[in-house]
Amino acid sequence: MAAAKERVLSGMRPSGRLHLGNYLGALANWVKLQDSYDCFYFSADWHLLTDRLETSQVPQHTIEMAADWLGAGLDPARSTLFIQSLIPEHAELHLLFSMVTPVSWLERVPTYRERIEQQEITSPSYGLLGYPLLQAADILMYKPRWVPVGIDQAPHVELTREVARRFNNAFGEVFPEPDVKLTEIPKVPGTDGRKMSKSYGNDIELADPPETIRAKVRPMMTDPARKRRTDPGNPDVCPVFDLHKIFTPEADLQFVANGCRTAGIGCLDCKDVLLKHMVPPLEKIRERRQQFVEKPDRIVEILHEGSRRARAVAGRTMEEVRAAVHLTP
């Protein structure tokens, strides 16, 4: 028999349709990991409550995000796709972890400090402080070997390891320490040249059809030094070229870089070359996505089925945890 595959676990907050930055920075990697690992991926809907308490859109956003997952190639036959709030064991484990975790550890977490500063939060909630601890419960529940995340989430995985150690010291060896599997985050500029972000309104969604992608790319910001067609440009400072580096094969990449530097091609020509390489792979994702969007009940079924599978694992972990904590006679 082949050796059991190592387990991988990761999650995303369900804030709606995903864009190219989400895809290239996380989802594409999740898809690839399915070939070699036993993958658990989930919608972190409780974590979303730290962003907003208005939940009317969350069910729809969960479905749209899952449609993106499935469109991109996550395969429910190979990966366990689930919803955090359907696994109440996460909350129980979070509570027990809160007993072994000094508040000072949580106050030091960079994402916590940044959010308080950037969003000028004067009275942070207990839940926001506990965000990375809930994440530790999400992770350790499934005893994964690896947690694939971007560098911004690495401190949360580090905290997870510290919490596992503290718990094990207090109650006995229950949790192995997982390692972060850093996802290379390519530079994905939005249409205005800033980092692609839904909140900037500069994003290209996985749900965008080809016409929309073209309409977003054609007016895209370029090297500001190229005011006229005859001005030479510098691809190294051009956001369009950052997208070329992601989608365009070497030969055409050389062609546009030279054409830019020598004013041999115009920016619209350059963008058309980009679109030629960018539209077909995205169209493949969108078409598959669309098939699921037309059957939202099927998406819900996949998430519920995955959640049943996840819950069985969580149930076993919690039996061990309860035995280790040993409270009830």
H helices then E strands: how many in the chain? 15, 5
- Would you say 78 or 227 has its CB closer to ligand SF4? 227
- At closest approach, how far in Å is the CB of 152 from ligand TRP? 8
Nearest distance from C-beta of residue 62 to ligand TRP, angstroms: 14
244 closest CA partner among 207, 211, 200, 276: 276
CA atoms within 13 A on the CB side of 190: 14
Residue 25 sits at φ, ψ, to 5 deg, of: -90, -10
Residue 257 makes contact with ligand TRP by CB under 6 A? no
- Residue 94 binds ligand TRP (CB under 6 A): no
Helix (H, G, I), strand (E, B) or coil at 216: helix
Tell me 178's DSSP state.
P
The smaller minimum CB distance to ligand SF4, of residues 76 and 233, is found at 233
Q: Which stretch binds ligand SF4 (CB under 6 A): 66-74, 88-96, 139-147, 238-246?
A: 238-246
CA 101 vs CA 11, 93, 217, 295, 322: distances in Å:
22, 12, 48, 43, 18
Q: Return the residue of 45, 64, 89, 138 that touches ligand TRP, per CB under 6 A.
A: 138
Length of the chain: 329
3-state helix, strand, coil in the chain (%, to 5): 55, 10, 35
Binding window for ligand TRP (CB under 6 A); candidates: 4-12, 29-37, 117-125, 303-311? 4-12
The answer to the question of residue 278 lying near ligand SF4 (CB under 6 A) is: no
Lay out the site mask for ligand SF4 across 120-159 (x = CB under 6 A, - = otherwise): ----------------------------------------
Q: Indicate whether 58 belongs to the interface with ligand TRP (CB under 6 A).
A: no
Residue 222 binding: pick among ligand TRP, ligand SF4, none (C-beta 5-8 Å cut-off by kind): ligand SF4
Q: Residue 267 binds which entry of ligand TRP, ligand SF4, none, with Cβ cut-offs from 5 to 8 Å by kind?
A: ligand SF4
Q: Which does 139 bind (CB under 5 to 8 A by kind): ligand SF4, ligand TRP, none?
A: ligand TRP
Beta strands in the chain (DSSP E): 7-12, 38-43, 80-83, 146-149, 179-182
Site for ligand SF4 in 214-233 (CB under 6 A): 222-223, 226, 233
Q: What is the nearest approach in angstroms of ligand SF4 to the Cβ of residue 226?
A: 5
Q: What angle do CA 317, 323, 328 make, to 5 degrees?
A: 130
Tell me which residue has tokens 């069985």: 312
Task: Copy the structure tokens of residue 16.
Answer: 């709606």
Element (H, E) at 318: helix 296-325
Judged by beta carbon, residue 91 or residue 323, the one nearer ligand TRP is 91
Residues at the contact surface with ligand TRP, assessed by CB under 6 A: 9-13, 44, 47, 135, 138-139, 147, 149, 153
